[in-house]
Amino acid sequence: NAGVTQTPKFQVLKTGQSMTLQCAQDMNHEYMSWYRQDPGMGLRLIHYSVGAGITDQGEVPNGYNVSRSTTEDFPLRLLSAAPSQTSVYFCASKRRDGAYNSPLHFGNGTRLTVT
């Protein structure tokens, strides 16, 4: 299994540009989520989804949009990039087994720089 795949690995944007960070998982996980990680800080939840067609906000959703049209994919869109969005972005997924203890599976991240 490939697990959780994120593309691209690196991206440089100018302020005001838009882009989509891709996330795909092949484990048939219902739950998917996006985190950002800034230097010296822990991971912060941006958006999450519990299934196709269902999304919700995490703790830092401003400036980001998501959609979930399939179980496999959960893209994160930056409509107008700002320097404050310079960060490493991680996508994670987990199965919906009725237990809150099934582990989160993370991708290897996208390192985004906004100049």
Q: Dihedrals φ, ψ of 32, to 5°?
A: -140, 155
Nearer to other proteins, 1 or 100 (CB): 100
Is 66 a binding residue for other proteins by CB under 8 A? The answer is no
Q: 56, 83 in Cβ contact below 8 A?
A: no
Is 94 a binding residue for other proteins by CB under 8 A? The answer is yes
The neighbour count for residue 21, using CB atoms within 10 Å, is 23
* Binding positions for other proteins, rule: CB under 8 A: 4, 31, 33, 35, 40-43, 45, 48, 50, 56, 58-59, 90, 92, 94, 96, 98, 100-101, 103-109
